[in-house]
Amino acid sequence: METETSEQGMKNWCGSKTHMMKHMCCHGSGGALYGLGFLGALWYYLTTATSLLGGILGVIKAILWPAFLVYGLLKFLGM
């Protein structure tokens, strides 16, 4: 298949400009969910930290909270 670099070629490849805009604009909910989860985890870990090292580890845990969630879920399911 020949690749086209013109706007017409991109329009044909994506179907239409509205399809392309819809595809690009409708996939931001995962980032919002991660952001809210990050803020909640950060608040929790920093308010329960009893030392500077605990606060630093809390920030790292807040960044990596999805990995902890998946690990706990898989451990619970016995996989």
**DSSP string for 14-71:** HS-HHHHHHHHHS--HHHHHHHHHHHHHHHHHHHH--SHHHHHHHHHHHHTHHHHHHH
* d(C-alpha 79, C-alpha 77), whole Å: 6
Give the pLDDT of residue 21. Answer: 56
Task: Give the residue numbers spanning the domain of 18.
Answer: 7-77
The reply to whether 2 falls in a domain is no
What would the pLDDT profile of 25-36 be if each residue is shown by its tens digit?
A: 556 677 888 888
The reply to whether 1 falls in a domain is no
Q: What single-letter amino acid sits at 70?
A: V
Is the pLDDT at 12 greater than 70? The verdict is: no
* d(C-alpha 17, C-alpha 55), whole Å: 47
Specify the number of domains making up the chain: 1
Give the pLDDT of residue 29. Answer: 72
**pTM score above 0.75:** no
Spell out the residues 6+ positions from residue 40 whose beta carbon is closer than 8 angstroms to its own. Answer: none
Average pLDDT over the chain, rounded to an integer: 77
